Structure formats: C-alpha cells, structure tokens
Structure 1
Amino acid sequence: MSAPVFSRFTGLLLLLLLIVGRASATHIVGGELDLQHRSGSQYTLTLNLYFDDIYGNTGALDREMQASIFDKATDARKTNLILPLTSNTFVDYTDPACAVGTLRTRKLVYRTTVTLAPAVYNSPQGYYVAIERCCRNVSISNIRSPGAAAQTFYLEFPPVTRNGQPFIDSTPQIFPPLSDYACLGDLFYYDFGGTDEDGDSLVYDMVTPLNGYSTAADPAPPAAPAPYRLVNWNAGLGTANQIPGSPPLGIDRQTGRLTVRPSSIGLFVFGVRCAEYRAGVKIGETRRDFQLYVLNCPRNATPSMVVSAGAGTYRPGRDTLRLKLGGNRCLTIKTTDPDPSTRLRISTHAVNFTGLATSFTSSSTGSIRTPGMPDTLTTTLCFPDCAETNGQVYLLDVIVADNGCSLPKRDTVRVAFTADSGGNIAPVLSSTFGATGDTLEVHVAAGATFTGTLTGTDVDVNPLVLSSGQNFNLAQAGMTFTAQNGTGQASGSFRWQPTCQTLRPADGLLVSFQLTENGVCQPKPQTQIVRFRVILPPNAPPVLSSTFASQPPADTDTLVVRVRINEVYDATLTGTDADPDPLTLTATQDFDLAAAGMEFGAQNGLSLASGTFRWRPTCQTLRRDEGLLMRFQLAENGVCQPLPQSQLVRFVAVVPQDTVAFRPPNVITPNSDGLNDYFTLPAPPADLCESRFAGVQIFSRWGQQVYQSGERSFRWGGAGLAGTYYYLITYTDGRRLKGWLDVLP
C-alpha cells in the first residue's frame, strides 16, 4: 500500500519516541561470524555486526574487534586476532516504500586473514571462534535486564586435516539480515537461509542468544572460553517461543525461512543457528542474533483472486486443467483489493516441476484506483504451446501480492494441470557405414576412397534436417558431406579419401551426424557418431647398397674413402624396394660439389634408383683436414610413414708419399766419356700441392758435406776422389729421400 508513512504510523512514532529517551547508551542489534577458505592455509575471518543507527551510541562504534580461537576438546585458547573495520553500510528494506525513519540499521564488517596451519589445527573435535561485546538495546521486550545484556558472536569449524589429508571447509553464509518490522496480528516471513561454498547440507533451528561475560564496565574484553551464559527470557518465553504469536517465531529446518504471527508489540531479540553437515556428520555451525520490531500497523486487507479457464471459474483442489495442442492454453486472472490506492502484482511459482515457463500476455501489475470500490485488475496467463507433462499433474501457484507494509499481503490459487503436446514419434536415422556399437568404427586405407550414405525418415512427416558436426576441418581431412533435407525424409552423402596427414590424431577423427526435426514440440533428434581411422598398408624398407669401400674399415656407420690427389675415384649406388614404391636417390653436403672435384648423378624410378659418383681430388681438397662429408639417401615417395635409408661417407684426399719409378743411379764414372759422368735425378717425385723439391745434399762416408744444391736439375760430377758417398733429397712437406752412390775412377 502506498499511504503516507506519517498518517499510517502515528502510533509507531509515538512508541519509538518513548524508546529514544532510554536507548541513548545502546547499540547492538545482532550479528554473526563467518570463516571462508581462500587458498592453502589462508582463511578470511569476518564479523558482521548490526548497529542501531537511530538510537545507538556512536561512541560504541568500534574501529576494531578482538576474536579468540579455542580448541573444542580442551577449551584451550589457540590465538587472539584483531579484526579491523572494513565496511560500514545500511541494511536495505524488503520494500523501501515501507521504511520508517525511526528504524535504521547499519552493517559493520570487521575482517582479517588468519593462517590455520595443518600442524596446529588438527584436533579431531574441531575449534570455535568467539567475540564478546556489550551491550544490547535497552528497549528489548523479551529478555530480562536488556540494558545489561551482552552478546557473544560464535561459530564452530572442523580441523583443517583429517586422516592425514587436507580437510577444506568454509562456514555457511546466512542470507542478508532483515531491516523490516512485523505488524501485530499479521503473518511475518523472511528468508534467513544460507549458502555453503563446499556444498555441505545446512540445517536450521532456533537457539537462545548467547550473553557471555562482557559488561557495561568492560564492554569488549578478550573472549572467555565456552560455555557462555545465555540471555534470560522473560516469563512465559523461551527458545521455542522467543516472539509470542500464533504461530510463534520459528524457522524451517531445511529452507531457513522465518515465520511468526506476533501477538504482542515491542522489540524482540532472537537467535538462529545454521549447522553444516558433510556425509551426514556435523562439521560446524554459525549463529546469528538479531532483533525484530513488532508494531501496531494500520490494517491492510488481503487481495483476492479469481482464476477462469475458458468460460468457467477454476476451482482449486477440485479442477485439473487439461491442456491440448491447438486448444485454449490460457487462464484469465481477476484480482481485487478493498484498500484504496493499492498496487497489485501477479506472479507464478512452479511447485513440483521445472523448465516450463508460463507468460503473461497482458500487464501483471496495476493499481486499484477507485477508493472503496472493488476495482478489478485483469490479466491473462498462458502456457507454452509445446508444454508437456507426460501424464503427470503439475502444480502452479498463481500469486497476487499488494504493496502493503511491512510485507505484502497475498492470495494464492494453486492450479493443477496436465499438458499434451500431441506426441511425437522419434525419426529414424540409418547409414551404410556398416559397423556396430554406440560409436561406429570405419577403417579406410590411405589413398583409398570411402563413400557412405545416411537416410532420415519420420512417420510424423515433420521437416527434417541432416547435418554433421566435428572439431576439425572436413575439407582438410579429405572429407565431404552434402545433405538433401525435406519433409518426412532427408538424406546425406559422405565421401573420404584419407591422406598421410589424416594419420593424426592417432585415435582417429570423430564425426557426429545428427537428424533434427523443425517446428515440432519436443523434437527428438537422432545422432550417429562415427570414428574414422586410417589403415596403413604394409611397407618394407627400401635397400641402399654401394661400391664404396671404407679405407680402413670404419668403426662407425660412416664410411671413410681416401683418394690420392689427381687420381680418379668412381663408385655406384643402387636402391631397390620390394613393395614397389617410387624411389629417389639424393646426395647432400655442406660444400660445393663441383669445386671439390666431385660429380653425382641419379636415375630414379619405381622400385629402383641408381646413382654414379666420381671424384678427382685436387690440392684445394687437402685444406679440409676432416675430409668431405656426404650423405646419400634413398627415399620412398607417396608413402605414409616412409622408411628412408642413408649412407654417410667421409672423403679424404691424400698426397702420395713415394714414387715407385724413382730409381736414381748409384754408380757414376766421371771420366768424361759421356757415360754416367754425373749424378742427377732423371725422374724425382714431382712437386705436388704443398710438397715441392727443397734441395739435395751429398756427404762423404765420414759425414762431410761435399755438395749441395736447391735445383731439381742439379749435376754432380764427384768430388775428384773415388769412393762411396751418401745423398739426402728433401721436400717442403718434410719428405726425405736417402740413398748411396759409388764414384768409380
């Protein structure tokens, strides 16, 4: 309802003005603790404290709070923690239009990070956290000496390790607190249900609030160990009757929904406990203390609603709607409210089903504008054309709510219905792939071609669409798929010519073929999944042979071929393959073949390849001391996973160390007869590369040098004395040729 707050709550204001004079030193409305796991051994400890912003003593608004952690088994104190104030905000009303200026609550958030080391927090019975603070509001109606009553904020948590393994738990987080008030004699409801990050089961019950040991003289001492003193209820009240009424204040064990129809006005404190269970075992709990004002509010009449189906009025509990495809699937809803200037809102709630969305075809909100007249808000609610209950009776609550304070008044009509979408026979998808099982297996040899067809039929003659889905590119895999769609029938053609690239992934290629129906209620798509694999034909490795002979025999896979400078070396290579496959014979090296005096040519073909090699080493080749390395390789072409063969050859150029034809004379007769008159070298080893004639020396038998020359064309006619002499011929590369010579008279 939208009547001015002043006119509607004059009695409320008078009551609250009486409270002001005796509330100046009070502040605590309630609160709860919360412990959330972050990472590793790090947790966040939070205190949500609710502060009376109207009558609370601002000097009691703490900048920090002190928490203590205790071992449940021994009540031994484990540590004390300081929680600084991190947030200061207002608690919102359910309906801001119902707010009253004398009821305003702040939410103060105190928070810190705590380390719960596994070596420290491993007691099997777990731990508890407590914070003590005084004092509560002096105007509380249901406990004794409220101005001296304190509050203990309390939660329990399990050990962080169990059976040697980490045991991670975050405590439940209760839904936002109320900032609303209840009206005398009216049903009040509020959701105190919580959430749990770990998915643990939550169970709720009412508990007597904890008082603890703080006092007005010592309002914020370090928390004492449990047990804690409880608040003292007034006569006739207790845990099960904290706010008197019919029913008294209670909470749903599973949902956490609070309800009360209060029978007395005043300010009432109450306590709620949320326990968490894992695998049926309780592992922790958190408590919330809070307050609820009960006021003598202006009366607010409940709206009423009439639901019609077709020409008749729907009778809850007696009628069941039968919704048929093509028939009337809408309800007419008419609502009235005797209160003036009331705004109504119509909504729906599914009771025993999910996934079926109804819709309003006209406005579901509106105002009753004529004072004292039963004006009517009319709207239409329709069910989807394809709604299907499969023979079950579904229940839908149609709810009309007004805008009355403190909470809306409601009228509910529960509609029972069944819905038949007309039935649909699933289409049939068949194929010529031929394999069996949930996922068909099709094996195709590389290079071969596979074709298959798919056919979709539907006895309902619905429009059919045949499609394929995969996580790879069809064309790149050598596949094509084309479909012809139609009414009652669809077909598709598939073709695959696998290549060597299709060998990956090793587990094959998955293709999903799907047949779907269009424009049908409850379509029943059909799917066929096919795994395509490539089959590799057997492949014998080719054989590479050659006439290379290692000199000396190599002790590795590398042949060593030594050739003298200026000599010609020839070799042949032959490659064969039994499969047969196209063969290619190649040679690779890191030098210029022609510059090194080498030639290589190959004749390639099917099952056979040959090559010829020729080398005439030159002096330039000698500069590569390690020789010249060449790899001859025989490769198969057009074969998946080829098996190439290779031969590594190291070519080394060498300089001849002697000349067999060198036979200098060992007798001269220097008698001037023209025969053997001089000692000369008719055919000495030729100058070659770095090896050149350096000189000749002739010595007597006693080692005395009698002759020396640096010319290859030297002539020595003897020393004038007959006898035996010795010669030494040297070359620039260090070679030495020795011999003896007789000089005859």
Structure 2
Amino acid sequence: MTLFYWIFTTLCRPLPTPTARRSGRWLGLLALLFLYLPAAHATHIVGGEMDLQYVSGNTYQLTLNLYFDAINGSPGALDASLTAGIFDKATNQRLTSVLLPLVSNTFVNYSNPACTVGSLSTRQLIYRNTVELSPATYAASQGYYASVERCCRNLSISNIVAPGDAAQAFYLEFPAVVRRGQTFRDSTPRIFPPLADYACLGELFTYDFGGQDPDGDSLVYDMVTPLNGHTTPTNPTLPSQLSAPYQLIRWRDTIGTYQINTLAQIPGAPTLTVGARTGRLSVRPMKKGLFVFGVRCQEFRKGEKIGETRRDFQLQVLTCPKNAAPSLVLLPNPTGNVAYRPGRDTLRIVPGGPHCVRLRFTDPDNSSQLSLSLRAVNYSGPLPTFTTATSGTVHAAGQPDTLTANLCFPECTNTKGGVGRIDVLVSDNGCALPKRDTVHIAFIALPTPNVLPTLVSTAGPTLPLHVRPGQTLAFDLIATDLDSDPLLFTLTGSTGFAPDVLGAVLVPQAQVGTQRRARFTWPVDCRAITTPPGQVRQLLFMATSTTACGEKQQTPLLSIPVIIDYSNEPPVLTSTLPPVAAGTTDPPLIRLPLGQRYTATLAGLDTDRDVLALTASGQGFDLAAAGMTFTAPAGPAGQAAGTFSWLPGCDAASVVAGKPQVLTVTFRLQETTCQPQPQTRTVRFEVVSPDTVEFTPPNLILPTSNNLANRVFTMASLPPDFCDTRFAGIKIFSRWGRVVYESGDRNFRWSGESTAGMYYYLLTYTSGRRYKGWVEVIQ
C-alpha cells in the first residue's frame, strides 16, 4: 500500500470525534497528505481510447479520448498536450511521434441527470492532431500500432493491485496504407459512448459500449486485461513513447468469495460481459466499489482482421434505494369487454370497428414518475398513438396509485394480411437505470376496401397504329377511380424505346370526380424510325391512385402498339455530261479550247416524290471564281433540273508542275427525307493550249545569197502567244558571249554579222518559258 493510499483511506473513514480532530495525529495525517500531493495529482484517469480517421491523400487524424475523474483528479494532472508514438508491429520500431494538443474539455452527462451522485463526475478530454502516413513508409504487411502512456489511475479502484501506482497505455492497431500493391484506406472504429453512470448493487446494469465503423467493417468485442505500460507515479508521462510489449495491470486475486480475472473483472451474477457483436455491457454487481475493466474492439474486413482498439474504463457500484419495477396491463380489447391476454390474444382492427385499447400502469414505489413508449417488433407501418396521458406520477400526494392511457391505432393501419407486433413499455425514473415492464401486442388490421383504378384510351380499335415521320400521333387516356382518389399518369415504352426522349408528351387535365383525362401527343420525326424500318413498338401507359391512407394502387399496363412507316427509293440523276468510260472509274475528262463555252443540263427524278435539290461544287476551287455557273430553280415534288455553263478563260489555262491544270466539278442530287440516298456525277475540265505545232527554227543564213529567204535570220513558226505565255524577246550571242543582236518583236529579222561563224540565240516568253539554239553565218 502506498503512503498516499493509506492516508486517503484513513481520511475517508467516518470523521473522528471533536477531541480527535483537535489531536496532533489528525493534523499530522493532513500534513503528510499535503506533502504527498504532487504524487496524488496523477490519480485521475478513468479510461479512454484512440481512433485514427482517414482525411484525404495521405493525411489521417489521430485522436485520444481520455476520461478524467472530475471529483478526485487534480487540475495539475490535466495535460495541455500528450505525445503519441507510432510503431511497426512486426519490429516494434518507432516510426514517428505525434504531438496531440488538447482540443476539447467537457463533462460527460448521466443517462438520467436525476440520478447524479456527488462521488462520480467525469470529464472527456480530447487530444487530436493530423499525421501523414506515406505509402513508402507504411506498407508493412503486419500493420502498425499507436500508443500513448499516462499515469495514474484512481486510488480507490477495488479490483487491481496498488491502483495508485497503476498507469494506462492507450493502444490502437491499424493496417498498412498499401496492401497487395493497392491503396488501402481504413478509418478505425470510433464514437464509443462514454460511461458516466454507476451500477446499483444487486441490480442488472446494461450499457451500450459499442462503437461505429465509418467503412462498414465488422466489429467484434471481447473482455481484455487493461494495459499498464511503462509510466509510474514519479514519471507519469514520457518524453517519447516506448514500444510494446506493455505490462498488464495486476488483478486482485479475490474480492470476498469472488475470483477476479480477465473474464470476471467485476464480481457479479453474472459478472461483467460484453456482447461480441453489439458491444453492450451487462453485469449484476454483487460487491460495492470502483472497478476498472478493459474491452477490445477488433475490426474485420472480408473476414480478415485489419486492426483493433482497446478501451479501458471504470464502473462504480453503489448501494441504491430499492426500486420495484412498474407494471402494465391492457384493459378490454376493441372487439368486446374481454381483457386482452398478451401472448394468447390477437387484436383485430377492422374498418368501422374500435381502434383503441386502454392501458393501466402502476408502480409500488412512492413518487414514481412513469412514462409510456412504443417499440415496433415486426411492423413497419405507422405506430399507434397515446390519446391521453403518456406519463405521470403515482403514490404521491394528490396522485392516484394507477394511471390509464388510451392507445389508438390509425385508421390506415394495415398488416397486409399478416400479424403485426409491437411492444408497449412503461418505464420508471429509478436509479441508476430505470426499470421497465413490457407488454407484447399482436394485431391484425384490415384497411378500408378500395377499388382499383382503370385505364382506357381513344387510340382506336385498329391496332397497331401506323404513322409516318412528319405526322403527329395523338389520342386521349381516361383513368377512373370509383373512390375518387387522386390519379397520376405515367408514360414509358417497351425495351429500348423511350417515347419522351423522342418528343412524345402526356398532358393530364384536371380530375373531375372519379375521372381524369390526359392527352397524348407525339410529333413523329426521323429519330423514331427503327432499323430495319417497320418494327412494332409498344407505348406503355399506367394510372396510379393514392388512397387516403397513402397507399398507391396501379392499373395494369395499357399497351398500344405503333409502327413507324418508312421506305425510300433512291432518286435518279440524268445529264448531258459524258459518261464514265468503260472499264474505268475515273471521272470523264472534258478538254476545251480557250474561249469556247461549254453547257450541260442535269435532271433528277424521285418516285417517293421527296423534295429534290441539285447542287454543283468545285474540288478545291470556287465555281464562280473560275467563271462557271450552275442554276437549279426549285421544281415540283420529286423533280429537279439544273444547267451548267462555262466559258474557259486564261485563269483555267495555267500549268501546274509542268502539266495543264485540271478542274474537277461534282454535281449532287440530294433528297429531303429521313434516310437520304444522294446521287452524284463528277467530271474533269482541261483548257487545251494552242501550242501544239512542232517548233523547228532555221540554223543557217547566207547574207550574200541571191535567195532572199536565206539572207536573214527570222522565225515565222514561233510558238503562238497564249494567255500569260507571250513572246518577250530574242538575244543573239557571239561564240564569246557578246550580244550581237537583240529584239522584242516576234517578227524580228537579223541579217547576220560581217564575220562568218557560229552564233547562239535565246528566246524568252513572259511565262518564263525559254528556247535556246544556234545559227551559222556563211559569207
């Protein structure tokens, strides 16, 4: 036993007599107590747990919930921050330390504030910070754990050895952030309800101690021995956290005749247990005192354990005033004056019959405050309501010993042919937990009869309906409900057919009495054509009525088949253009001399009488810019005519890459229909150059000859001028390169030089074309 524990237990005995209080022994104990206060400051921990929540990216939020004894804990033991360590589970290597500042300090409320006792008050201290868990670091297959150690627990704990020296190691396991090469996100269980209540000696105590998992993982609970760790009263905190293994607290061997161990942490009949799936604590304690206990919550995903959270707490057991349970009975049932017998009778609630039962509830304890509540067992409809008092006080001055209330089922109660079951509960205001009595009610409820609605259309007796693109399909729908319930229409289509997407609309009118009409209109366009055309599609209509009880009743589907009629023969294009040569697919080539007009006519005919349009376009050039014209005035349905004309000019006579320019023109006959089949004709045009005469200039002159034709050098057969190819000039050179003659006249005449010999000439044209040659002068 520590010195502080001995002083504390001595001072907590009944106060001594006035003489003893004045004695030196009492004052000496007080002096020893104050001398020992620094160590006492640490006796404050009620319990707590940790959780780790995913935020985003690699960021997580680490939280420590520490529960602080607000009665015995000293303010000096309230830390402004604590430090957590994160360790590799396989190697126990510390990877990082996380400073957790205090972010919240609040009181934990009792379940029933009226049951508050002065010896039990708890604060919830929340320490929190973010931490980065990089995939490069946190990828070990066995996972990791986080811990925070702090000393010490309360001196008055009854079920462990040396409670004043006992510390706590808050412990949390979590998985790697990368598993099997894939990113793995996990948030550990959290939102464990804090325990502020106490238990009464000999009375059953239950409490929901379960947590929630943000990822929907499976949680399994069991009892474990709390961790003690490495801290001590003289070193209540650590500058940096130490790794596992952590020492366990030491259980007392026995308390009275009760053995104390992990599975029997609080003496009782039964001892303290926790629901493996629910996390619900249950104990009927048989010894007074303050008892510490440990619960482990293991987290599983797809059958594989991925983490665990350990939670330590303490429960105070007090001697409470005796509290008898209240009682509840049902008075005569709706069908007569026979008392309803729970477990044997079934209430029958029928249209026009009684819908209420009377309840009587009482409590043997004076001044008990009773309250009624309902709980559905296997019934999902609207619960009955209490039309009179749902709470009251019995056995108090001016109050009766019993209270009554009416429980009335709604007119719309409907068990749909089965048996509904609800529980009626009466609860008192006893401490630490209220006591209850429950009556199980089985009932069969029939709704008010309701006639199903009907639906017809004015679409006509001949089905399927036929309609072509460009036409509008229209008819009326008539829905009837003999109960005058509100009616709504719906429109759908058979598989792969959505009429509303294709422009169909259903416009309802105002309901008049039992009837409501709606107008269906569908302007059919090309989108409605099926592939292949002519397939039957179903327009599906339904009317739904809503009864006074909110139940929906639907008519059978009204199916109206419809066929979109569509066929199309390609139009025929004829013309005076030359046909494609046999054995080739190349467009015909029309060669025209400069200045000679060319004219062609084209005609189109369509047996479906679709509107036709004739057009012409140049390949890489504009028709008008090239001097071409095409006129195609509008004609009657199914007919078209057009005229093409061209007077070739020099613009079309240019030479490209040494070859005459070729102009390609395409004529197109287009029909206005849903699935057009255009017809085309393509021709090529080339301007013929007149430079087709072989050019053979003379190469000998005799200036002294009697033959006048040979006395001068001239070229009567020069290539003719054509568009931009015109004669520019001639130069005659001596054998040494000296210009001896030059002229820009295409009718030039050179009489030679006084010196016989070889001379060379150069003819140039404006297009850049050049001719070279020689001529010999003989004297």
Query: Above 0.5 in TM-score?
Result: yes
1:465 matched to 2:511: no
* Structure-2 residue corresponding to 1:229: 248
Alpha-carbon separation, structure 1, partners of 2:15 and 2:664: 107
> CA 1:25 to 1:333, structure 2 compared with 1: closer, same or farther past 3 Å?
same
Deviation per CA, 1:289-343, whole angstroms, max 9, x where unpaired? 1112233455666555454445665443344321112322223445556777765
**Which among 541, 551, 557 is matched to residue 513 of structure 1?**
541
Matched residue type, 2:629 = E
Conserved 8 A contact 2:423-2:441: yes
* Cα drift, residue 29 of structure 1: 0.8
**Contact map agreement 2:573 2:669 (CA 8 A) in 1:** no
Q: 1:167-316 alignment to 2 at 5 Å? A: 169-173=186-190, 175-221=192-238, 222-226=241-245, 228-233=247-252, 235=254, 236=258, 237-279=260-302, 282-297=305-320, 302-308=325-331, 309-310=333-334, 314-316=340-342
Superposition pairs for residues 596-611 of structure 1, below 5 Å?
596-602=626-632, 609-611=640-642
Per-residue CA distance 1:428-480 (angstroms, 9 max, x = gap): 7789999xxxxxx999775577678878788x867473512469996773435
1:612 aligned residue (643, 651, 659): 643
Q: Is 1:79 paired with 2:95?
A: yes
2:8 aligns to what? none
Q: Does 1:639 align with 2:673?
A: yes
Note closer, same or farther for the CA distance 1:661–1:89 as it changes in structure 2 (3 Å cut): same
- Paired with 1:367 and 1:624, the residues of 2 have a C-alpha distance of 116
Structure 1 residues 348-359: aligned runs within 5 Å:
348-359=374-385
Change (3 A) 1:234 1:326: farther
Specify the code of the residue in structure 2 equivalent to 1:288.
Answer: R
2:399 equivalent to 1:399 = no
What residue is the counterpart of 2:7 in the other structure? Answer: none
Conserved in 2, the CA contact under 8 Å of 1:52 and 1:106?
no
Structure 2: state its 5+ residue gaps.
1-10, 17-29
Q: Does the Cα contact within 8 Å between 1:550 and 1:561 map onto a contact in 2?
A: no
| 1:134 is aligned to 2:164 | no
Once the 2 structures are TM-superposed, how far is the Cα of residue 260 of structure 1 from its aligned partner? 3.4
Asked whether the 8 Å contact 1:183–1:262 carries over to 2, the reply is: yes
Secondary structure of the 2:632 match is strand
Aligned equivalent of 1:479, options 490, 504, 525: 504
* Correspondence list, 1:278-677, <5 A: 278-279=301-302, 282-297=305-320, 302-308=325-331, 309-310=333-334, 314-335=340-361, 344-362=370-388, 364-365=390-391, 371=397, 373-374=399-400, 379-422=405-448, 446=469, 463=485, 465=487, 467-469=489-491, 477-481=502-506, 494=520, 496=522, 498-502=524-528, 513-519=541-547, 522-526=551-555, 528=557, 537=566, 564-573=593-602, 581-588=610-617, 593-594=623-624, 596-602=626-632, 609-619=640-650, 632-646=666-680, 656-657=690-691
1:177 partner letter: P
Question: Are the counterparts in 1 of residues 175 and 307 from structure 2 also a CA contact under 8 Å?
Answer: yes
Shift of 1:30: 0.7
Residue type matched to 2:167 in 1?
A
Q: CA deviation at 1:624?
A: 11
- Contact 1:552/1:560 (<8 A) preserved: no
- Are positions 1:109 and 2:127 aligned together? yes
Report what 1:438 is aligned to: none
Matched position secondary structure for 1:147: helix
Identity percentage over the alignment? 45
CA deviation vs aligned residue, 1:357-399 (integer Å, no higher than 9, x gap): 3334456456679636327665443323222224433332222
Shift of 1:268: 1.9
CA distance in 2, matches of 1:492, 1:99: 67
Between 78-87 and 412-421, the greater mean CA deviation after superposition: 78-87
Name the CA shift for 1:730/1:111 in 2 (closer, same or farther; >3 Å): closer
Contact 1:461–1:489 (8 Å) recurs in 2: no
SS at 1:195's partner residue? coil
Aligned residue type for 1:233 = R
- The question of whether the paired residues in 1 share the 8 Å contact of 2:505 and 2:520 is answered with yes
Task: Tell me which moved more, 405-414 or 521-530.
Answer: 521-530
Deviations, residues 596-617 of structure 1 (Å, cap 9, x unaligned): 4221122666666443322223
RMSD over equivalenced CA pairs, Å: 5.7
Assess, with a 3 A threshold, how the Cα gap between structure 1 residues 333 and 602 changes in structure 2: closer, same or farther: same
Q: 1:231 is aligned with what amino acid?
A: R
Amino acid at match of 1:477: L
Question: Residues 727, 44 of structure 1: CA spacing in aligned structure 2 closer, same or farther, 3 A cutoff?
Answer: closer
Partner in structure 1 of residue 87 of structure 2 = 69
AA aligned opposite 1:385 = E
Aligned pair in 2 of structure 1 residues 338, 169: CA closer, same or farther (>3 Å)?
same
> Could you tell me whether the CA contact under 8 Å between 1:135 and 1:151 is conserved in 2?
yes
Q: Give the Cα–Cα distance (whole angstroms) in 1 for the partners of residues 281 and 307 of structure 2.
A: 21
Q: For the residues of structure 2 that align with 1:442 and 1:267, how far apart are their CA atoms?
A: 85
Closer, same or farther: CA 347–572 of 1 in aligned 2, 3 Å:
same
Number of positions where the alignment pairs a residue of Structure 1 with one of Structure 2:
712
The whole-number CA distance in structure 2 between the counterparts of 1:101 and 1:505 is 84
Preserved contact between residue 122 and residue 196 of structure 2 (Cα < 8 Å): yes
Contact 1:536–1:640 (CA under 8 A) maintained in structure 2: no
CA 1:631–1:684: 2 relative to 1, 3 Å = closer
| Alignment check: 8 A CA contact 2:169 2:227 kept | yes
Q: 2:766 aligns with which of 726, 732, 744?
A: 732
Unaligned runs of 5+ in 1: 1-12, 435-440
Query: Contact 2:457–2:476 (CA<8 Å) still a contact in 1?
Result: yes
Q: Structure 1's 699 and 225: CA in aligned 2 closer, same or farther, altered over 3 A?
A: closer
Change (3 A) 1:262 1:632: same
Distance 2:245 2:438 in 1: 47
Alignment match, 2:67: 50
Q: Distance in 1 between matches of 2:489 and 2:575?
A: 57
* CA distance in 2: counterparts of 1:508 and 1:366, whole angstroms: 70
